[in-house]
Amino acid sequence: MNPLLVLAIISIYFVLLMTISYFTSRNRSDESYFTGDRQSPWFLVAFGMVGAGLSGVTFVSLPGMVGNNNFYFYQFILGNVVGYLFITFVLIPLYYRLRLVSIYGYLDQRYGVKTYKTGSLFFLVSQSFGAALRLLLASKILQFALFDKLNIPFPITVIIILLLVWLYTNKSGIKTIVWTDTLQTTFLVLGAVITIYTITSSLNLSFSGAIQQVTEHKYFEVFNWENKSSNNFFKQFIAGILVAIAMIGLDQNMMQKTLTCKNQWDAQKNTLTYSLILAITQFLFLGLGILLYIYAENNGIALAVGENGALLDTDNLFPDLALNHLGVFAGISFLLGIIAASFSSVDSSLTALTTSFTYDFLDISHKSSADKKRLKNWVLLGFSAVLFLIIMLFANSKGDVVSLIFKVAGYTYGPLLGLYMLGMFTKIAVKDKWVPLICVMAPVLTYLLSVFFAQNYNFDFGFINIAVNAGLTILGLLLVKRKGEIA
């Protein structure tokens, strides 16, 4: 694709974001960056959260992964839907009752300051790695589509993207993001829909014909009942429930948007609507994946295969076909989708990281207006640098990024899940000073157990490692409970 056309698309899109930023940053208060002044329309938040929830990883990686994993990922998505019900009717009422800005303030009230800091720190690590991996994939695509042709090195590409995000979120943070995410979700979904239309048209398929081709394809296998497989239904479904609770309900990034709604009922409507739209959209992307493979098969496009027969670099499937085979219109829609997904993912992550660190570690709520602005700017710059370093660390990684993100999440969000489950459903008091050690040991033991079972019993934990991790965290907390005391 012509680099000038790509540059024009990026420039126009960025102007749109800056225009939204200009209007949303008027009449802002000191708390606008962190809370959006709690005036966001719930339906706008729900639709915008889809873009942040999908990200560039889903946009690119999910269609490609069906080549090695069939439709099994949808078992995980079905579990997500159940998890969102827990978030809606258990966690959101808790957060609104306590009037939290950083959701980890609950841990301070329930356990103590060391647990509070530990929970927030685990989120910071989790979100930093997750955001960096999501941005890495999108940055590689933009590098291939534009910056390589301009002889701009990859590190500079990442810096440019982070700088652009900083420019339109710096003033009003979450207040701006609620609106820009809506625009970005629209382009992300349109990118998939236009690609599907282009493929079906080139294959002379009607809408019903396309559905028949997808549902009759060998990759359209939704349920897996093999006990030892990482794709086993029960592993995927249970993991889907727990990961949704942890990565959405216990995630400052996603909950910060929800908490900008005017009241609890609006926030609950937001979450229920979001879960439905997200499930439908993810199904759409999986179906798109099968259509992409059908298109490649019908047009004799060779795909790299490993020695074990598995497809290699499945994340390259969608970008390659969209930019090199499906025509200019599909290429433009793909670029708009990946740009939208990139910005939507990284802007909300940086805002959440900044909010969590400033509230949980710098006690920004008790600072003057000038100090709030100064600290916020330095922390935002610091986390931008952290994301850059992580991206450089994984710059040469290949394969299915979406699976990597959920596996990493199982280790980093597991302790958070254990802390909240014990805290909400029991009145057991624990010795606060031992909690940091327990939250570090639980993921380590989970990893060792996963290796042991894989080597000795050929049993793959898969995404269920989050349940093992949370269970070990709860066990550790019970070992250091205060005798005769309740919270």
pLDDT for 32: 47
CATH number at residue 12: 1.20.1730.10
pTM: 0.75
Residue 362 lies in a domain: yes
Asked if the structure places residue 265 within a domain, the reply is yes
Domain-embedded: residue 148: yes
What is the average pLDDT across 37-59? 62
Whether residue 167 is contained in a domain is answered as: yes
Letter string b/e over residues 150-176, b meaning 16 or more CB atoms within 10 A of that residue's CB: eeeebeebbbebbebbbebbbbbbbbb
pLDDT digits (tens, 9 = 90+) for 137-190: 778 877 877 788 888 899 998 898 888 877 766 655 566 666 777 777 777 778
CA pair distance 424, 421, nearest whole angstrom: 5
- Range among 182-196, 348-362, 427-441, 472-486 rated most confident: 427-441
Tally of domains within the chain: 1
Q: Is residue 147 part of a domain?
A: yes
Within-domain flag for 337: yes
Helix, strand, or coil here: 432? helix
Give pLDDT tens digits for 422-467. Answer: 999 999 999 999 999 999 999 999 999 988 988 888 887 776 788 8
Domain that holds residue 326: 3-21+37-400
Closest CA to 253 of 410, 129, 367, 364: 129
CA distance 38 to 284: 32
Percent of the chain with pLDDT over 90: 17
pLDDT digits (tens, 9 = 90+) for 366-407: 777 788 778 888 888 898 999 999 888 887 766 556 666 767
Asked whether residue 471 is assigned to any structural domain, the reply reads: no
Mean pLDDT of all residues in the chain?
81
**Residue at 330 is within a domain:** yes
